[in-house]
Amino acid sequence: MRNAVIEEDLKFITDCRNVPWERLEGKNILISGANGFLPSYIVETVLFLNETRFNKKATVFALVRNRERTQERFQHYAGRKDLVFIVQDVCVPVILTESIDFIIHAASQASPKFYGKDPVGTLSANILGTHNLLTLAYEKKSEAFLFISSGEVYGEVSESTISIKEDMYGYLDPTLVRSCYAEGKRAGEALCVCWSHQYGVPTTIVRPG
């Protein structure tokens, strides 16, 4: 059974009438980093739409690295046919026989505790992982590719800045290990722009604060 707080959140999210939820009906949706806070909510939102709104269910392909953690996080969805787990590192090419209509790339080590411990893994998920999933989107002729970036791409901005605008970018030192996350996100964004420009992959970038 779903957590009561999550249930309330899902009702609030799916009540947003300005979101074209119908685009997802009956579609195959790949979500990387599905164990994470934001992507796990995206997974549950689609499953909730299957229960409450869609006549033809969407299928979520949840890409994760840790099987045990996944089984614990999504234990109340065990046995559902509309949730398929893919256990692998996003830095390895993703091979699927199914069609994939939408891809949401959210796999990334977002906590600062990983930046010094595993900077290579942090950087790779945002560069190699993004490349692999953009390749998949191109091969599958996906309808849309969403890259979950970060407000970290703005770098160090003045403390006097009340709100950051899209054209405001601060300083980042690429020689600091701590920059692996922000630089990885910047590179991931550039990859999205390049694949959209050169290969026509329909990409969108969002930057949670």
- pLDDT over threshold 80, residue 162: no
Q: What is the dihedral of CA 45, 110, 163, 105, to 10 degrees?
A: -50
Residues 64-117: tens digit of each pLDDT? 999 999 999 999 999 999 999 999 999 999 999 999 999 999 999 888 888 888
By C-alpha distance, which of 37, 26, 23 is closest to 60?
Answer: 26
At 25-59, the pLDDT tens digits run: 999 999 999 999 999 999 999 999 999 999 999 99
Residues 63 and 66: their CA atoms lie apart, in Å, by 10
Identify whether the C-beta of residue 48 lies closer than 8 Å to the C-beta of residue 81. no
State the Cα angle at 200 between 131 and 64, rounded to 5°. Answer: 35
Q: 104 pairs with which residues across the strands?
A: 31, 146
